[in-house]
Structure 1
Amino acid sequence: MSDSENNISNNNKKIFVLDTNVLIHKPDAILSFKESHVVIPLWVLEELDHLKTEHSDRGRSARHAIRFLNDANKNCNGNLRDGLKLSDNITLQVMLTHHDFKDLDLSLTKADNKIILCAFDLQQEGNKVFFVSKDINARIKALSLGVHAVDYEKHKVSIQTLYAGYRQEKVGEDFVKELIEKGEAECTNNDVIANQFTEFSTEESGKTVYLSRFDKTANKYFHVPSSIEPVLGVSPLNVKQRMAFELLLNPDIQCVTLVGKAGTGKTLLALASGLKLVLDDKEYTRVLVSRPIIPMGKDLGYLPGAKKDKMSHWMQPLYDNLEYIIGSSRSQNLKSIDHLLSNKLIEVEALTYIRGRTLPKQFIIIDEAQNLSPHEVKTIVSRAGSDTKVVLTGDPYQIDNPYLDEESNGLTYLVEAFKGQELAGHITLGKSERSKLAELATELL
């Protein structure tokens, strides 16, 4: 047994062996394991070295993780081979070797298997080991070897209790009368949070619902009329869409998240609101639209043609919504998609190119945001410049990123993190308005 292995065996801390994807998900994930011994297998460094040249979010995270390890090695007591002492009583170590377990019949040409064997090796020495990975299959492999395998759950959010953005309450007729006549009513409920909607009803009114939005600064409910003028030809088809428009059209609410299954109108409502605020209200200079390239599997540079040609198929769902809005609207400012693009009233951009930019006075829409990690969402939202609004839409149950799920993606993380903030608002849209067939397919298939 090596000296470094002795160092591990003689401590009483839990040992967490991190897979590469954990550091890609959060480059400084090591700091999450307080009072513990964190092991980075040598093959994780090999994979980070391979990824660091990519011009993508994955490559950027790999470079951040490498720099984190380098800074820790320079600034902390100890060394990576024998163990570095970090803050919060964390010990960080790079494991250089593992025993040769030929009887396990695992291919040692795969870095994943070598990383798992590091955890298995440490456990064989009598340590309490946890293999941490975002890769479900890697965790299953580890479990089959008898190694405790867990997901990295620092940013986990329970999808079952995810903040919906609205609530219901029974009140008296006097309260409803004040809300309707004055347009506002004092709030005496300490449980209501900023920009949360309340559907008020009374015993006398039966099924009639009176909608309000809570303004935390004024400590008042403000009445939200059940109907509004169509927004560039788009009218809300249910009460949740009405709530969404209330958030989207309010410049004081600078971050809006819309969660819902296919057909609930997330992207359509966001585009219609953004174009109205740009073209008619002159609140922003342009609408900037983007979405992750996860389904492609590669960066745009691998696709043929100029950037516009590369992005045309990838952004087609957005163009479909734009064509619908143009066909429904009577606005003289809304002529054609080419007119919007050529006059830079709307810009379609890859997320890769948004990073590093400062984006003032723009209405930014990030579609399919469920395919982004919490780290990526943080980077995108932090790009917002002065007087910019950011809207993120997505369906947590339709995730294409292999290392994310409905509870660990950046969209649901942002919903919970920004819950109750005065600059933010959220609505979970429930009913599909695409067609009865689409609704049936979403529910049953």
Structure 2
Amino acid sequence: MDAASTAWILAATMGVSLMVPGLALFYGGMVGARSILNVVMMTFGAVAVTAFVWTLFGYSAVFGDSYGGAGLLGDVAAYPGLGGVIVEDPAATLPPALVAVFQALFAAITVAIICGAVVDRVRFGPWLVFSAAWVTLVYLPIAHWVFAFDSADGAVRGGWIANTLAAVDFAGGTAVHINSGIAALALILVLGKRIGWPGQPRPNSVPFAALGGGILWFGWFGFNGGSALAAGNSASVVLLTTFNAACAAMLGWLLVERIVDKHATTLGGVSGVVAGLVAITPACGAVSPLGALAIGLAAGVACASAVRLKYRLGYDDSLDVVGVHLVGGVLGTLLIGLLADPAAPNGRTGLLYGGGFELLGVQAIAVIAVLAYSFVITWVLAKVLDRTIGLRLPREVEEEGVDVVVHGERAYDLDGHVHAPLAGIAAREQEVVASAEAVITDVPTAARD
């Protein structure tokens, strides 16, 4: 057991866990004041149901021996209930339980990202059903393709993208960001537009969104750096490239805003940081620090431009999941084919370093495969659920506000309303005060004095 690497992955896992409240705050700050609690609940709820899927059969489906060696899905009975991973493996450099929880958070974050595209129009209960079904049918197979490498002794065979195709995806550009981004688009097309779109509520708290983005940035160091699965040079390089890309993307996004809108906004700057983090996720172990700056700058410009297209193309992406995660993920994955530096931890050579077009072609195949599978299965799943249990909120709920109607709560009590459970107590207090005042009024003046 490698104690140093175990300590690093423990810390990285805690960093990734902070991405859950970070995402909730980032999304929550961008929605209207009547929807912030619903977004928080959708984020945390998606994480909660993923834990059940992952424990029962999800880890097995990703890291179990591939059925027939085809590289499409792992043996779902390999680690039933995760009972086997709690036993210490003398041959392992990391505790199996640590790898299991680290990867569980990847699955949870992926489905949680999708909710940002469809806020204000999804019923909460059916959203939880969708999350569990989506992780099962979409995330688990793709994660097996991308994250499951053949074991050194050949006893366990992994996914086809990681082994047969040998595409580069250090921390999940395909399995996490392209996957969630294209799934968000499919779900949007099934649900349709919000009432009143393209008009939309103003962000209820830009500082909340900025705080959430900062927490995501912190957690992303664990997300990318922890994917090295060891404490050493690879993890260190990944932290550097992750930092560079985020900073460059922020400047790229603000440049677009300044040219087009004549303003450099706070929300735009934070969104640029997230776009850069998305784009560098697959490439963080494949490029140089200069390459990371280039990827980040390209992502900032491309994603800032892409989010404006939703109005022209007519799809209602509430919080720009398609424009940031889909576009950023595709861009970062493909740019590996151009900018991969053989001196970087992945040791692959891109076109600009004399490697030819082969790596670019490999990356493109991985992108197309994930796009096609995720879109088709998500669209079919969403259609089935919408026709059976119903995904879309009733019109009157959308108009009145999701937080109050669905969750019985308000994020901000700006009207001075008494909370429902306390209403009876407050009314009783008023009766007591009125009775006391009446009694005092009947007492002679001298006695009152």
TM-score normalised according to structure 1 size:
0.25
Q: Which has the higher contact order (CA 8 A, sep 6+)?
A: 2
The structure carrying a bigger helix percent of its residues is 2
